[in-house]
Amino acid sequence: MTVTKLDRDTTVGLIAGWGRYPIVIAEALKAQGHRVVCVGIKQHADPSLRDICDVYSEIGLGKLGAAFRFFRKHSASTATMAGKIHKVLIFKRFYWLTHFPDWGGLMTYFPFVFSKTRDWKDDTILGAIVEAFAQRGITFAPATDFLPELLVKTGVLTRRRPTSSELKDIEFGWQLAKEMGRLDVGQSVAVKERAILAVEAVEGTDKCIQRASELCPDGQFTLVKVAKPKQDMRFDVPTIGIGTMETLVEAGACLLAIEADKTILLDEAEAIEFANRHKLCLVALSDAAGELHDAA
């Protein structure tokens, strides 16, 4: 895997979605000496990014032309994206009035919204956006290139280790989660006693966890979250943090299994401390079938 290397004073563009991840990346880029020009997605980006970045502009999802011009004006030929886009909002009535597309957005989204010749899978839409920027001389790099230590390493990360029953659930859920990822449906599945409680789709991981809790009030289920088999590390990389841990604990889950080297773990020390405090097991694997015996 090729890692992006930039001079310290290089200007980097950042497209910021929802969550803490864009803040972590912006702070890392600044600490590395980069000038950061940020496009914050309306109704998603944290307002604190305005104070962290050198230049900040908030735009709607449809204003891709404005984003093109903003990055070019501020000499950002290399860019990255971080943070979740709440895709479910796109299907709400009148949503596009808030994020009405400009000409650049209209040309990019035309096959999705108007001619309907392309599907709305994450890889399809995000790939089209990245290609639209590339056509204008702006290349996207994985955010993890600038902070590779965010990618979790293999091992049992908490004091509590998985039980034999939980190991079977991990292996069972891993296979299904990988297949769901191959289909670009979602990254997470909730499992109990080798029965699938919930599968993540457009609603996101937290809603998937909450639905599993509703269907299994007794809790004690396992969540498996993996990368797609052909994960593009420039976007839609599996990400967890304290917020995910809180949702799991509230839902009564007992274990979270994630994919090592392809999952972002934000605020790792705090997240692991929280998991330990609530007796939530956290395990990172690169291949469930080949490594489960080591986790026992």
Q: Do 220 and 289 belong to one domain?
A: yes
Q: Do 156 and 283 belong to one domain?
A: yes
Q: Which two tokens stand for residue 211?
A: 């639905």
180 falls within a domain: yes
Distance, CA of 179 to CA of 292 (rounded, Å): 19
Q: Give per-residue pLDDT as tens, 108-123.
A: 988 887 788 888 888 8
Last residue of a domain, one of 145, 173, 192: 145
Q: Do 116 and 212 belong to one domain?
A: no
Q: Do 115 and 223 belong to one domain?
A: no
Mark 66-102 as b/e (b = at least 16 C-beta within 10 Å).
bbbebbeebebebbbbbbbbbeeebeeeebbeebebb
Percent of the chain at pLDDT > 90 equals 77
List average pLDDT for each run of 10 residues in the chain, which is 296 residues long: 71 96 97 97 95 96 93 97 82 66 87 84 91 96 95 96 96 96 94 97 93 96 96 93 96 97 96 97 83 61
pLDDT at 139: 96
194 falls within a domain: yes
Residue 38 maps to which CATH number? 3.40.50.20
Residue 180 maps to which CATH number? 3.40.140.80
99 falls within a domain: yes
Q: Do 116 and 181 belong to one domain?
A: no
Domain count, the chain: 2
Q: Do 36 and 133 belong to one domain?
A: yes
Q: Do 160 and 258 belong to one domain?
A: yes
118 falls within a domain: yes
Q: Do 113 and 243 belong to one domain?
A: no
Distance, CA of 142 to CA of 82 (rounded, Å): 9
CA atoms within 13 A on the CB side of 280: 26
Last residue of a domain, one of 145, 168, 188: 145
Last residue of a domain, one of 98, 124, 145: 145
Domain that holds residue 99: 11-145
Q: Where are the alpha helices (DSSP H) in the chain?
A: 21-31, 49-52, 64-73, 95-98, 103-113, 122-134, 164-182, 205-215, 242-251, 268-277, 288-295
Query: pTM of the entire structure?
Result: 0.89
30 falls within a domain: yes
State the helix-helix crossing angle for 64-73 and 103-113, rounded to 10 degrees.
140
Q: Do 57 and 179 belong to one domain?
A: no
Closest CA to 257 of 194, 144, 166, 192: 166
6 falls within a domain: no
Q: Do 131 and 210 belong to one domain?
A: no
3 falls within a domain: no
